[in-house]
Amino acid sequence: MVLLYIPLMKELNVDWNTIKQIPRTELQALATGLREYSLMHAFDGYNDRDISEMAKNKPEVRAQYAAYKEQKQKYENILDLEKRPKTLGELFK
């Protein structure tokens, strides 16, 4: 349970009194959102070559980068689906 609260207090600046008032499901949703955000922006600004250099000293970086790219692709696919025309009329606009 502490592992859930500390990131919320540190990263989102939520105080202990507020945490006690928020329902557990909402706290879990906030923690999940924070994890998603952290994963999506963990490797911003790096390219494959940079990751290869970092992975020489820390092999776990390659797995983290793979998770980052997978998550990024997932959200890009969702955005592409939203941009597609839903009707024939939208296609010709």
Closest CA to 4 of 42, 30, 41, 37: 30
Confidence of residue 16 (pLDDT cuts 50, 70, 90): confident
Please provide the size of the chain in residues.
Answer: 93
Rounded-to-integer distance, Cα 41 and Cα 64, Å: 12
The whole model's pTM is what? 0.60
Residue 2 has pLDDT above 70, yes or no: no
Confidence of residue 70 (pLDDT cuts 50, 70, 90): very high
Residue 7 has pLDDT above 80, yes or no: no
